[in-house]
Amino acid sequence: MSDVKDRLLQRFLKYVTFDTESCDDATTVPTTPGQMVFAQYLKEELQAMGLAEIELDDKGYLYATLPSNCGRELPTIGFIAHLDTSPDMSGKGVKPRVVESYRGGNVVLDEKEGIILSATDFPEIEDYAGHDIVVTDGHTLLGADDKAGVAEIISAVEYLQAHPEIEHGKIRIAFNPDEEIGRGAHNFNVPLFGCDWAYTVDGGAEGELEFENFNAGSATFSIQGCNVHPGYAKGKMLNALRIATEIVRSIPATESPECTDGYQGFYHLMSINGGVDSAEVSYIVRDHCRETFESRMAFISKVADGIKAKYGAGVLSLDLKEQYRNMREQVEPKMYIIDLAKIAMEKAGVKPLVRPIRGGTDGAQLSFMGLPCPNLFAGGINFHSRYEFVSVQVMEKAVMTIVNIAAMVKDLK
């Protein structure tokens, strides 16, 4: 194993031991104390590396600078990853294991309990035959989302420090909390970061390059029914749950996540809660096309209006909100930052896979805060689950992609 790959792996194996699972119900920033513990550890690591302008604020946002070693003024670029792991699966007590030179087929995670990373259920693992892959013991997620990104960014900076012959401009790096619950960009200090553009290193498979994400909205239908004794309910009861099911039937089931892919948008039923007296129906609305997204949001309003017309205005209230927008609007005027990333990948032996994100990233919000910020691959597969894994070789290619981007900025016209 090369020195770069070995140091990268050891760094990643250390990082995943930090419990940084974020919490959607918390009101603190960061939402869990483990994220600040991890941020403090990274701050000390960056100090030991001799980086400049290191700042960790009281909300867990960590910033640092690799100064320019070029004699002329160049654009300042940034690389960003997030500290937290998803609350969808426990991130406490992660026990990573390296499967060296994976030979294909199933990987047993916990023999005693029969937990298996199955090549039948997850055929993409066969693409990594011959790679060294990092897996869990099957009882937690791994945390490659996004500790692989953190490790890759720091390893790339370390590589540039060790190779001063590679000329580059000022490079800023940042690590933020609470991305997994959609709050990662909320307290990001874009003026302090001071970059012309940046890249989040938070993508999945090798070569992923994303600058399009969903336009996103949420819809909550709150229903007020009337509950009386069912034996004497005729003409009196108004069953909120029945109205809830009527709302669900009104929204096309064929336009749900399980029926769509690529650029297709959807309505996603998140929850139905309540009883006869009152109930709540929650949806999220997604579409890459702005016009189609607005049509979807208007359709939700139309459904609500129909229920009010049928049962009375006081029966239903609708909370309809826009959450974030497609970053393509902000990136398209600077498409050279995408071209730069493509060439950097190719130089690292990576085939660029430009595809839309069927979700959102911190980069989407940051792009609308004045920081164009597409997303680069970090290498992890099966995010948010006990079957998450990452290839060490792909992580190394991510490091070299970052290095190549940094080195190529000086060649921009």
CA distance 154 to 48: 12
Beta strands in 263-314 (DSSP E): 266-274, 278-287
Query: Is 179 annotated as catalytic?
Result: yes
* 218 φ, ψ (degrees, to nearest 5): -130, 150
Exposure on the CB side of residue 396, measured as CA atoms within 13 A: 16
How many CB atoms are closer than 10 A to CB 181?
16
Give the distance from CA 318 to its chain's centroid.
28
**Residue 89 backbone phi and psi in degrees, to 5:** -150, 145
d(Cα 364, Cα 284) in Å, to the nearest integer?
Answer: 17
Q: Encoding tokens for residue 137? A: 């013991």
Strand order in the sheet with 62-66: 52-56, 62-66, 171-176, 77-82, 197-203, 375-377, 208-210, 353-354
Q: Is residue 94 within 8 Å of residue 84, measured between CB atoms?
A: no
Q: Which of 21, 84, 210, 388 is catalytic?
A: 84
- Active-site residue 287, yes or no? no
> Is residue 7 packed enough to be buried (19+ CB in 10 Å), middle (13-18) or exposed (0-12)?
middle
Strands 133-135 and 389-391: antiparallel
Rounded Cα distance, 202 and 277, in Å: 44
d(CA 50, CA 66): 9
Report the amino acid identity of residue 107: V
Rounded CA-CA distance 304/14 in Å is 50
Nearest to residue 190, comparing CAs of 339, 290, 61? 61
The residue annotated as part of the active site, out of 179, 206, 287, 396, is: 179
CA–CA gap between residue 287 and residue 285 (Å, rounded): 7
Would you state the structure tokens that stand for residue 46, as one six-digit string?
Answer: 């960056």
- Separation of CA 43 from chain center: 22
Largest CA distance in the chain: 86
| Residues identified as active-site | 84, 179
